[in-house]
């Protein structure tokens, strides 16, 4: 399958790195819920299909599943087919490879070197400090930031960023001037736009690139009836979010709008978002994500969506 709408690259903040507007997030690659495990063959096939469809940004992480190793298998095949490292933007994370989390210089270097080995590459375009509870150990002398700056001077890392939920931590890192990318998740989608009020404007002011993840909110906005999705989570989802997702679903059904298209395009339409990360588990899912990105939603429908739901 091919698509008319190209994944035109644009600049990621002040990094000098050009990214596609859709990136592949690695958390769910090959995941089979019935077996509660990741199938490496399916996961690698998902990465390869994403690359075939024109996606050139892949975000991964150690410490949560087997994402880096699966992507490494896929990249080995991609390079074997003639794919070039220079055409890809690879992002990974440090700090959560071990338990407890480790934001020391030694732990950071070990984590980055392990990521490079797992992925089978000799540099990472973006390295994100991942999920610290406080930023103090990251910024401390002998902490993660200083080591990442050393590794940047060595050419092992090209840009330094932060991936965390807390807007306060993002604010501290952005205002420090040392961080070039922020990955926010769950706070800029059709159910929650809080990042749009503070984080995205601040990042734009400091020319910090934005990766936006979790735009389908664990499947509530993924194109299925949210009530069925919520039932699979056995009451663990926020009832208010489920209620709003149902209202959005009903509106989408009445207007013949693909809910997944609206969820993905809400993010990609915003000029402050440099890349929207989609978490596909299979080749079929990344096909669905790309088709959703391609589908045209008429501008009056976006206006109605804004007026009815204040998004």
**Is 10-309 in CATH node 3.20.20.100?**
yes
Percent of the chain at pLDDT > 90 equals 94
Confidence of residue 34 (pLDDT cuts 50, 70, 90): confident
The whole-angstrom separation of Cα 181 and Cα 218 is 24
Residues 6+ apart with CB under 8 A from 286: 24, 46, 49, 50, 53, 55, 278, 280
- The whole-model pTM stands at 0.96
User: What's residue 2's pLDDT?
Assistant: 39
Confidence of residue 1 (pLDDT cuts 50, 70, 90): very low
pLDDT at 64 exceeding the cut of 70: no
pLDDT at 45 exceeding the cut of 60: yes
Confidence of residue 207 (pLDDT cuts 50, 70, 90): very high
Let me know: does 113 contact 147? Beta carbons within 8 Å: no
The whole-angstrom separation of Cα 26 and Cα 33 is 16
- Neighbour tally for 108: CB within 10 Å: 27
Burial pattern 31-58, b for ≥16 Cβ within 10 A else e, equals beeeeeebbbebbbbbbbbbbebebbbb
Mean pLDDT, residues 174-186 taken together: 98
Query: What is the three-class DSSP state of 35?
Result: coil
The whole-angstrom separation of Cα 140 and Cα 168 is 17
- Neighbour tally for 109: CB within 10 Å: 17
State residue 238 phi and psi, 5-degree precision.
-60, 120
The whole-angstrom separation of Cα 221 and Cα 238 is 14
| Lookup result for tokens 């997030």 | 25
Confidence of residue 63 (pLDDT cuts 50, 70, 90): confident
**How wide is the angle at C-alpha 277 spanned by C-alphas 303 and 187, nearest 5°?**
60
Confidence of residue 6 (pLDDT cuts 50, 70, 90): low
Q: How many residues are recorded in the chain?
A: 311
Mean pLDDT, residues 60-85 taken together: 93
């Amino acid at each position: 399958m091919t698509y008319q709408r190209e994944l035109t690259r644009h600049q990621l903040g002040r990094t000098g790195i050009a990214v596609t507007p859709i990136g592949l997030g690695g958390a769910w690659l090959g995941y089979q819920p019935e077996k509660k495990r990741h199938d490496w063959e399916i996961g690698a096939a998902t990465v390869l299909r994403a690359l075939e469809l024109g996606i050139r940004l892949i975000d991964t992480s150690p410490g949560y599943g087997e994402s880096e190793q699966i992507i490494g298998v896929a990249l080995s095949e991609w390079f074997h087919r003639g794919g070039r490292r220079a055409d890809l933007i690879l992002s990974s994370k440090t700090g959560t490879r071990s338990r407890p989390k480790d934001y020391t210089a030694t732990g950071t270097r070990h984590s980055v070197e392990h990521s490079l080995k797992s992925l089978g590459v000799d540099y990472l375009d973006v390295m994100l400090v991942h999920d610290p509870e406080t930023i103090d150990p990251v910024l401390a002398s002998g902490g993660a930031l200083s080591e990442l700056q050393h590794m940047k001077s060595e050419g092992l890392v090209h840009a330094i960023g932060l991936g965390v939920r807390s807007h306060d931590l993002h604010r501290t890192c952005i205002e420090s001037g040392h961080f070039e990318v922020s990955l926010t998740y769950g706070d800029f989608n059709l159910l929650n736009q809080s990042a749009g009020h503070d984080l995205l404007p601040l990042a734009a002011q400091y020319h910090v690139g934005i990766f936006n993840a979790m735009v389908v909110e664990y499947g509530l906005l993924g194109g299925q009836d949210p009530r069925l999705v919520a039932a699979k989570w056995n009451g663990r989802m926020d009832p208010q979010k489920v209620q709003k997702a149902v209202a959005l679903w009903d509106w989408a059904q009445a207007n013949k709008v693909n809910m997944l298209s609206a969820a993905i395009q809400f993010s990609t339409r915003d000029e402050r978002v440099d890349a929207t990360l989609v978490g596909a588990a299979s080749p079929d899912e990344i096909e669905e994500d790309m088709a959703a990105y391609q589908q045209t939603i008429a501008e009056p429908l976006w206006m109605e969506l804004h007026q009815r739901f204040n998004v």
